[in-house]
């Protein structure tokens, strides 16, 4: 590999349209990664014209997508809930004493969030103000992890819709000339009222992934006849919702109204501005600022305005407007209720934790820290309830040491990871839980009488993998006075779900940040460290820790990959083929996960694929929900479905979900692999992968191997160019601005 000279570039110049390649991203969320070779790099931006073109050209690929859109139910209740959230903007100035419970409105918010996440209606009683009450004193003692019953180990399967509902939906689809095979997906997307919803607004068919606007138009004409047209308000509101749902699959929690309007114009909507206004009035989307007067006032500098900025938007490093420069105009943003609610709840919850006062018990723990960075982390936590920790794989030992020291002092502390793979990488004797298991109550200390985690300290590793909804649920489950440490590597790809929580917190500078001084060791660590600063350097690898395998075309790339996994790497390092993970840019393409998995199965576990293409012993990637990937192996199959072993738990995937939720897993995308590591990794870069490469993608893929990294290299100079010239593409979020409005940014020393 040649040395790549790092150049300074404005990240804004790298932006692509936020709606570009949306169909590819839609398939990515369903499968826990980015679909096809060009999907992973197209994560964010602002160009509306390119957005429309990109969406049009990738619609065909989206037919395979299996992301499940949620029904837009209980919108009026959610709107009222958001108004209640706005009333909580006035935070108390002083530190929060440990041991108190959430205020009434915060408790109501938590209950309402849980209700909406479960798909149920929001109880109006949750929207009434309750008087705050003090929680009983909790002794500082170590809370042992609750054993997980077998039933709780299994990822929850989506609830099956009533057969009569599916039959009614099938009848409506047939009447409108749509494929009746979509009945199950329509019911999943629209809920039990799907037949009525579909008749009232046939364009709600767009809630099903892969359905194109022109197909929904034909369906609507068949049901409504001449009573519909391109400006039909039912059509425009469905299109607005669809555009924001697809943007969320690319990581955005909001979009600029101008980009949405341009995309609507591309779908022949005669008055895009009126369509956007109608969608806001109908509470299909929320508008920020909420009215034009607020927007004008903030643009004139008569109001703070910082709350509604995205993560860039004219801020200097400390989060304010540059010296001597006029405040940048505040863009009008549109957001779906679920993401607006999550960002509001997360920002206020983080602000609440950040105000936790000092506690001398942490100073005691710092004295016995195993490293200077660990001691610095413990001291930072002594005076703050929210602390960020940045570092690579080796630095994970520092927040773990913090948790162990806390437990030794009688503090109820829990370490949370994002996968069984992440838990297996921790040192012996460290009890850890998965984030999903903690939230479900299947792992960890459980919840107290108020529904809050029965703990005083939560340490979350691989924090960049937190999406905004998961993070909001975690934070709202922490009691006042509890402390939160978010630890992760800032250089990796962001979450598969919407938001960029860890990056927004780092950029806002509203809490202490401890940067580890513990580098990842060896040639792989040296290589990845250079990539993190934009340089692709040659490294000495006397033990073949890093090997470059040049290839001329995709066919040779697939052949050499199979050879490396089945023969070369096991022979050189004494490992099994199952300990080598293949990572490539996307699912499609001549050397994507589909092609590679087919070749690897033929070599490593040949069979007839009697159950949906799978055989016992096949290595698989199971996606129980969009953006979440579990690795496992096929055990058997019967009338109930495909039985998998995932992280020591048995999972049964019903027959109708196998096609969409299970893939062969010898090869993954980098998004799927984020947060996990293996003894050996083979990164495959065929010639058609060049446009999907970026510095975070290369950094993530190259850093997944502990002992060995092979790079099947067919992209020539595109690899060093991506490392030096293609940083993270922006995501449009509101979190940084909200945090800056709630907490004065704290400048970092130096």
The per-residue pLDDT for range 328-344, each reduced to its tens digit, is: 678 899 999 999 999 99
pLDDT band at 369; cut points 50, 70, 90: confident
The residue to which tokens 């000279």 are assigned:
5
Task: Answer yes or no: is pLDDT of 482 > 50.
Answer: yes
Q: What is residue 221's predicted lDDT score, i.e. its pLDDT?
A: 94
Is residue 473 within 8 A of residue 435, CB to CB? The reply is: no
Q: What is residue 362's predicted lDDT score, i.e. its pLDDT?
A: 72
The per-residue pLDDT for range 562-608, each reduced to its tens digit, is: 999 999 999 999 988 889 999 999 998 889 999 999 999 999 999 99
Q: What is residue 368's predicted lDDT score, i.e. its pLDDT?
A: 73
Average pLDDT, the chain: 78
The per-residue pLDDT for range 178-209, each reduced to its tens digit, is: 999 899 889 988 989 999 999 999 999 999 98
Residue 694: φ, ψ to 5°: -150, 170
pLDDT band at 326; cut points 50, 70, 90: low
In angstroms, the Cα distances linking 223 to 68, 178, 207, 211 are 24, 11, 17, 17
Helix (H, G, I), strand (E, B) or coil at 651: strand
Residue of higher predicted confidence among 366 and 590: 590
Task: Answer yes or no: is pLDDT of 302 > 50.
Answer: no
The residue to which tokens 């000495």 are assigned:
540
C-alpha torsion angle, residues 64, 66, 68, 69 (rounded to 10): -20
**Rounded distance between C-alpha atoms, residue 534 and residue 545, angstroms:** 21
Task: Answer yes or no: is pLDDT of 7 > 60.
Answer: no
In this structure, what token pair is assigned to residue 686? 């065929």
Task: Answer yes or no: is pLDDT of 34 > 90.
Answer: no
For the segment 731-742, the average pLDDT, to the nearest whole number, is 95
Q: What is residue 629's predicted lDDT score, i.e. its pLDDT?
A: 85
Top mean pLDDT of 56-70, 414-428, 495-509 is at 495-509
Task: Answer yes or no: is pLDDT of 635 > 90.
Answer: yes
CA 64 to chain centre: 21
Closest CA to 458 of 562, 387, 367: 387
Q: What is residue 93's predicted lDDT score, i.e. its pLDDT?
A: 41
Is residue 351 within 8 A of residue 85, CB to CB? The reply is: no
Task: Answer yes or no: is pLDDT of 11 > 60.
Answer: no
For the segment 636-646, the average pLDDT, to the nearest whole number, is 91
Is residue 39 within 8 A of residue 692, CB to CB? The reply is: yes
Is residue 398 within 8 A of residue 516, CB to CB? The reply is: yes
Q: Which long-range contacts (CB under 8 A, 24 or more apart) does 337-340 make?
A: 337/72, 337/75, 337/78, 337/79, 337/82, 337/283, 337/285, 337/286, 338/70, 338/116, 338/469, 339/248, 339/253, 339/254, 339/468, 339/469, 339/498, 339/499, 340/82, 340/253, 340/254, 340/286, 340/288, 340/734
pTM of the model: 0.77
pLDDT band at 622; cut points 50, 70, 90: very high
Residue of higher predicted confidence among 61 and 172: 172
The per-residue pLDDT for range 108-151, each reduced to its tens digit, is: 544 554 554 444 454 544 443 333 333 334 343 333 443 333 33
pLDDT band at 227; cut points 50, 70, 90: confident
Residue of higher predicted confidence among 433 and 27: 433
Is residue 262 within 8 A of residue 256, CB to CB? The reply is: no
The residue to which tokens 């040296």 are assigned:
526
Give the relative orientation of helices 75-86 and 104-117 as an angle to the nearest 10 degrees: 150
Task: Answer yes or no: is pLDDT of 609 > 80.
Answer: yes
The per-residue pLDDT for range 533-570, each reduced to its tens digit, is: 999 999 999 999 999 999 999 999 999 999 999 999 99
């Amino acid at each position: 590999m040649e040395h790549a000279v790092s150049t300074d570039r404005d990240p804004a110049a790298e932006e692509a349209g936020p709606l570009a390649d949306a169909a590819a991203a839609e398939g990515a969320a369903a499968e826990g990664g980015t679909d096809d070779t060009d999907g992973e790099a197209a994560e964010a931006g602002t160009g509306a014209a390119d957005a429309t073109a990109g969406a049009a050209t990738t619609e065909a690929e989206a037919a395979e997508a299996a992301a499940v859109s949620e029904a837009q139910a209980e919108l009026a209740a959610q709107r009222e809930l958001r108004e209640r959230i706005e009333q909580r903007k006035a935070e108390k100035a002083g530190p929060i004493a440990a041991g108190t419970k959430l205020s009434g409105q915060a408790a109501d918010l938590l209950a309402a969030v849980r209700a909406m996440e479960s798909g149920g209606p929001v109880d109006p009683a949750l929207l009434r103000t309750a008087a705050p009450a003090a929680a009983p004193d909790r002794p500082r003692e170590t809370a042992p992890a609750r054993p997980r019953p077998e039933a709780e180990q299994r990822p929850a399967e989506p609830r099956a819709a009533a057969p009569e509902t599916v039959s009614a939906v099938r009848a409506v689809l047939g009447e409108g000339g749509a494929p009746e095979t979509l009945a199950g997906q329509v019911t999943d997307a629209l809920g039990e009222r799907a037949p009525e919803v579909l008749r009232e607004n046939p364009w709600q068919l767009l809630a099903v992934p892969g359905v194109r606007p022109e197909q929904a138009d034909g369906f609507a004409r068949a049901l409504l006849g001449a009573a519909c047209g391109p400006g039909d308000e039912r059509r425009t509101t469905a299109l607005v919702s669809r555009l924001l749902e697809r943007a969320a699959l690319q990581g955005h929690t909001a979009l600029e109204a101008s980009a949405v309007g341009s995309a609507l114009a591309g779908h022949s909507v005669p008055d895009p501005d009126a369509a956007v206004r109608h969608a806001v009035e109908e509470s299909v989307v929320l508008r920020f600022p909420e009215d034009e007067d607020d927007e004008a006032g903030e643009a004139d500098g008569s109001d703070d305005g910082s709350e509604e900025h995205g993560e860039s938007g004219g801020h200097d490093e400390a989060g304010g407007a540059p010296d001597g420069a006029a405040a940048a105009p505040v863009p009008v943003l549109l957001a779906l209720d679920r993401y607006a609610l999550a960002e509001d709840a997360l920002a206020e919850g983080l602000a609440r934790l950040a105000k936790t006062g000092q506690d001398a018990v942490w100073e005691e723990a710092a004295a016995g820290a195993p490293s200077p960075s660990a001691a610095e982390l413990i001291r930072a936590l002594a005076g703050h309830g929210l602390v960020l920790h940045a570092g690579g794989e080796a630095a994970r030992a520092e927040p773990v040491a913090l948790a162990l020291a806390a437990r030794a002092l009688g503090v109820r502390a829990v370490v949370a990871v994002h996968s069984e793979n992440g838990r297996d990488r921790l040192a012996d004797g460290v009890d850890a839980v998965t984030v999903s298991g903690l939230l479900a109550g299947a792992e960890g200390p459980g919840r107290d009488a108020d529904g809050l985690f029965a703990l005083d300290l939560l340490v979350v590793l691989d924090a960049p993998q937190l999406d905004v909804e998961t993070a909001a649920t975690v934070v709202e489950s922490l009691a006042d006075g509890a402390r939160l440490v978010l630890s992760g590597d800032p250089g990796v790809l962001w979450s598969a779900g919407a938001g960029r929580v860890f990056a927004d917190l780092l950029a806002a500078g509203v809490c202490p940040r401890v940067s580890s001084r513990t580098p990842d060791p060896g040639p792989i660590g040296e290589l990845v460290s250079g990539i993190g600063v934009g340089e692709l350097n040659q490294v000495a690898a006397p033990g073949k820790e890093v090997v470059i395998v040049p290839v001329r075309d995709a066919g040779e790339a697939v052949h050499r990959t199979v050879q490396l996994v089945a023969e070369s790497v096991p022979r050189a390092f004494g490992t099994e083929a199952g300990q080598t993970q293949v990572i490539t840019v996307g699912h499609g393409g001549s050397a994507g996960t589909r092609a590679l998995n087919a070749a690897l199965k033929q070599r490593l576990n040949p069979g007839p694929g009697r159950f949906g293409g799978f055989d016992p012993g096949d290595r698989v990637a199971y996606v129980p929900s969009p953006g979440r990937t579990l690795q496992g192996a096929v055990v058997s199959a019967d009338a109930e479905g495909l039985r998998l072993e995932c992280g020591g738990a048995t999972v049964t995937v019903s027959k109708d979900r196998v096609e969409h939720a299970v893939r062969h897993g010898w090869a993954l995308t980098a998004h799927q692999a984020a947060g996990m590591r293996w003894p050996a990794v083979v990164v495959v870069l065929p010639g058609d992968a060049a446009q999907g490469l970026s510095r975070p993608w290369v950094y993530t893929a190259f850093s997944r191997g502990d002992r060995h990294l092979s790079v099947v290299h067919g992209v020539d100079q595109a690899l060093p160019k991506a490392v030096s010239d293609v940083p993270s593409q922006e995501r449009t979020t509101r979190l940084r601005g909200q945090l800056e409005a709630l907490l004065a940014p704290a400048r970092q020393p130096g």
